[in-house]
Chain A
Amino acid sequence: NAGVMQNPRHLVRRRGQEARLRCSPMKGHSHVYWYRQLPEEGLKFMVYLQKENIIDESGMPKERFSAEFPKEGPSILRIQQVVRGDSAAYFCASSPGRENYEQYFGPGTRLTVT
């Protein structure tokens, strides 16, 4: 059973371009979470999705950011018109259920905006 997969591992974008980050959860997991980690800071919750539904997006900026988890395929975190402040590590986690279930993290995508 492969772990949580994220790609790309590293992504470089110029200001104004779009960044698309992918996350494939562990087999059998239908709950996906996205977190952002700025340099020298802790992880911050962005959004929680269950297949085809956004359950909680309270940590995601209202502008330029969107997330989806379609019935088929990976979860996608999309950042439009990237700015330098978007440079960070973006981690995806998956779990088989809510609350007390363990969340398994992927290796992260490091986004650099030049």
Chain B
Amino acid sequence: KNQVEQSPQSLIILEGKNCTLQCNYTVSPFSNLRWYKQDTGRGPVSLTIMTFSENTKSNGRYTATLDADTKQSSLHITASQLSDSASYICVVSARNTDKLIFGTGTRLQVFP
């Protein structure tokens, strides 16, 4: 069964600190993996999208990694800001399909 699991479920950090969020998936055959940021009450916003051949991609203070062999991905946030408080969702797509399979997200809270 195609699944995406994320950890931790929630995370609290202090402003300025770094953090890393994890994603494991069992989607096959793999097409691409995306990380989205979802603020409360809003739609998800794309941070990165990686295909099989890419193992790292950055977007400002966000850096995503992908290990297609172990089916794991991580999202590293550097020098966190209060505005980083949101849910971060790992999303995987299987080849030859248009469906995205969503993880349940990691809820990050950044405190001053």
Tell me, yes or no, whether A binds B: yes
Footprint of B on A, CB under 8 Å?
4, 31, 33, 35, 41-45, 48, 55-56, 58-59, 91, 93, 98-100, 102-108
Other 17 A-B pairs with CB < 8 A, given A35-B102, A58-B99, A105-B36: A33-B98, A33-B100, A41-B104, A42-B89, A42-B102, A42-B105, A43-B89, A43-B102, A48-B98, A56-B97, A56-B98, A59-B99, A91-B43, A99-B96, A105-B43, A107-B43, A108-B42
B92 CB to closest chain A CB, in angstroms? 12
B105 CB to closest chain A CB, in angstroms? 6
- Stretch in B14-22, B44-52, B62-70, B71-79 touching the partner: B44-52
Q: Does B32 contact A (CB under 8 A)?
A: yes
Residues of B within 8 A of A59 (CB): 99
Residues of B within 8 A of A56 (CB): 97-99
B32 CB to closest chain A CB, in angstroms? 5
- Taking a contact as CB atoms closer than 8 A, the residue among A55, A102, A105, A108 that contacts B98 in the complex is A55
Docked pose: A96 CA to B101 CA in angstroms = 19
Residues of B within 8 A of A108 (CB): 41-43
Q: Does B93 contact A (CB under 8 A)?
A: yes
Q: Does B31 contact A (CB under 8 A)?
A: yes
Footprint of A on B, CB under 8 Å?
4, 31-32, 34, 36, 41-46, 49, 51, 89, 93, 95-105
A48 & B99 in contact (Cβ 8 Å cutoff): yes
A42 & B32 in contact (Cβ 8 Å cutoff): no
B99 & A102 in contact (Cβ 8 Å cutoff): no
A104 & B46 in contact (Cβ 8 Å cutoff): yes
Residues of A within 8 A of B34 (CB): 102
B46 & A102 in contact (Cβ 8 Å cutoff): yes
Of all A-B residue pairs in the complex, the 7 with the closest CB atoms, nearest first, are: A105-B43, A42-B102, A42-B104, A43-B102, A45-B99, A48-B98, A105-B44
A113 CB to closest chain B CB, in angstroms? 19
B45 & A105 in contact (Cβ 8 Å cutoff): yes
17 A-B residue pairs with Cβ-Cβ distance under 8 Å, sorted by A, are A35-B102, A42-B4, A42-B89, A42-B103, A43-B89, A43-B100, A43-B102, A45-B100, A56-B98, A93-B43, A98-B98, A99-B97, A103-B46, A104-B46, A105-B36, A105-B43, A108-B42
